[in-house]
Chain A
């Protein structure tokens, strides 16, 4: 089920955030490309270390575990249907590898304030690309909130799109029609509104911009000085 509740994120320094992103990307890439004998054990331990380092264990995790259980069950069921009972151990390994591919990114997103992520993107990318990407990240919660509202109203109107009902592929078309398409329309409307808001504040007037608080921030919190 989609969840409209707010995230429990903490604000971290940019250096720590860079380390976290690097570790999460390394673990995900490892899950994708490293298939050595001890790879799954090492990646599992690495992901657990990331969970401890980011404080992810303090966050609500029950729903996340349920999603991964569904994923594992679905993949093993597909292996069972396609290759028979003897393929189940192999299916379990593939399912676990997929969990390890996705989990570092999920942990990172769950424990990082979207604003911190946006600020980091702006530092490393060309100004315009950085602005577009940071705005996408920044407005994701807004779009998510709208989608959650739409989902709930459509369920009440009769759409068979509760999590268990989505196991049936016959209901996927409804999901596309009543959730995905409106979400795309909402994102286009949001993009138009954001572009207009930036234009109203003279974004793009000059090819380059000054940056506050600057290289030597004098008083970036605005706290009165003694």
Chain B
């Protein structure tokens, strides 16, 4: 069994992505494809799965064109498990692929239990009638893998598998991939940072519109954060406790953020990081303890224009026709004339080195560029406090370094920053790192 790519090419909305790509992946081999954001890694994976035209070349699997591969032999998993789990409970999810392949129902349950065992999902703790919505992100990814493995694929294609996983999820993924490779399966995956996945045997990089051999990139150098922050407290949490329904999310949270300080709050999937940010903006009420932002209990109306919130996948909030309009739009809330808004927006774009994109439609930009534009539009209102929810997901090292540069600049201007992450960063440019657990916030 092998996958062979010959002279593959593809074009994006703004021009060619890559051309003349040749690749062979043998049994038991795990290949990682890296490259800058928007270079065509996902497109290449979809071409391997037969979902995208291969350009002038061809994709062969098991000695025949990939379009003729036996159903179930190639398994493709995209980045976000939430949009790929299609059924209400674990059993229906696992059965979905088998139902499509017309496997008799009486043969399904044993295959389901076997697939769960392959990804270390305990059937006693996770019965087949368990609702999918109650699973953690790590469990969802394992379930998705089981739902693919149940169809007995020989080639697994994974698009940024580490993007949503915490350290526990990555450890589990490593074990699953090693078992799969040991049975003669092949894996091709896209990842910005291959370092956490020890199963990877070969690294390739899309650069200069072609695919080249590469090595594990060293962690990018980030400048140290600007000088020590001021003494004025911007955010204060005292013995904060949060319960959602009957579930206690966290308690005994004590935390202070000073003016001009950048703090990272790191926690596993489901630890309540997004809920913490909602508490700080007043959209969620604490169950106990107290929170103060700018010396007052947080309330959305009072914090408007003073706090900037960058949500996960911020590209979703881009709606204007051009980047300049996107950045100038929030300034119109201040009642400034349109010309003045555009003038101020241009100044912000210059400051963030984004002025070259000013007249381009945001939806035609790469993921990394969209991310930076969304950040620029949040910074346009000059917030005193910036809350960033997992801002580096899907960003390549260069874009990550650029975001840190922007944060340092904002910090010099007196803005304080809280940045939540689901994994401990190898390098960072923050003043402090805290780990969020159910029992409190611990400085790292």
Contacts and interface: CB of A to CB of B under 8 A. Distances in A.
Interface of A: 1, 4-6, 8, 11, 113-116, 118-119, 135, 138-139, 141-142, 146, 149-150, 152-160, 162, 177-178, 181-182, 185-186, 189-190, 193-194, 196-206, 208-214, 218-224
A90 to B, nearest CB: 36
A135 to B, nearest CB: 6
A220 B86 contact: no
Contacts, number: 191
B311 A138 contact: no
B38 interface: no
16 contacts: A113-B88, A138-B88, A156-B300, A157-B308, A157-B378, A158-B304, A182-B319, A190-B83, A193-B78, A200-B49, A201-B86, A203-B100, A211-B105, A212-B95, A212-B108, A221-B91
Contacts of A209: 99-100, 102
B68 to A, nearest CB: 13
Interface stretch (B125-133, B172-180, B218-226): B125-133
Interface in B82-139: 82-84, 86-89, 91-92, 95-106, 108-109, 112-113, 116, 123-124, 127-129, 131-133
A220 B129 CA distance: 7
Interface range on chain B (Cβ under 8 Å from partner): 35 or more
Given A200-B75, A222-B129, 17 more contacts: A5-B244, A11-B131, A152-B309, A153-B309, A156-B304, A158-B333, A158-B334, A158-B381, A162-B300, A190-B83, A194-B86, A201-B86, A201-B96, A203-B100, A205-B101, A212-B108, A222-B112
B232 interface: no
B317 A154 contact: yes
A11 B131 CA distance: 10
A189 B316 CA distance: 9
B400 interface: no
A199 B51 contact: yes
Contacts of B314: 153
Contacts of A152: 278, 281, 283, 300, 309, 311
A158 B124 CA distance: 49
Contact of B83 (A150, A193, A212): A193
Contacts of A157: 304-305, 308-309, 330, 333, 377-378, 381
B80 interface: yes
Nearest to B94: A212
* Majority DSSP secondary structure for residues of B touching A: mixed
Interface of B: 49, 51, 71-72, 75-78, 80, 82-84, 86-89, 91-92, 95-106, 108-109, 112-113, 116, 123-124, 127-129, 131-133, 147-148, 151, 244-245, 278, 281, 283-284, 300-301, 303-305, 307-314, 316-319, 330, 333-334, 377-378, 381, 383, 389
Contact of A115 (B72, B75, B89): B89
A113 B148 contact: no
A139 B312 CA distance: 18
Nearest to A186: B316
Contact of B105 (A113, A138, A212): A212
Contacts of B334: 158
Given A153-B309, A205-B71, A138 B319 contact: no
B91 A222 contact: yes
A186 to B, nearest CB: 5
Nearest to B76: A200
A201 B281 contact: no
Given A150-B317, A177-B319, A210-B98, A221 B129 contact: yes
A209 B92 CA distance: 13
Nearest to B104: A210
A221 B128 contact: yes
A106 B6 CA distance: 56
Kindly list the 4 A-B residue pairs having the minimum CB-CB distance in the complex, ordered from nearest.
Answer: A115-B88, A214-B105, A158-B333, A212-B95
A212 B99 contact: yes
Contacts of A197: 78, 83-84, 86
Contacts of A224: 123-124
A202 B71 contact: yes
Given A152-B300, A197-B78, A197-B83, A8 B245 contact: yes
A210 B311 contact: no
Nearest to B380: A157
B88 A155 contact: no
B319 A178 contact: yes
A208 B102 CA distance: 8
A80 B100 CA distance: 59
B69 to A, nearest CB: 11
A190 B305 CA distance: 30
Contact of A135 (B86, B283, B377): B86
A139 B95 CA distance: 19
A157 to B, nearest CB: 4
Given A152-B300, A156-B303, A201 B109 contact: no
A65 to B, nearest CB: 18
B102 A201 contact: no
A196 B333 contact: no
A158 B330 contact: yes
A197 B112 CA distance: 19
A4 B91 CA distance: 27
Contacts of B103: 210
Given A119-B88, A185-B319, A220-B91, A202 B83 contact: no
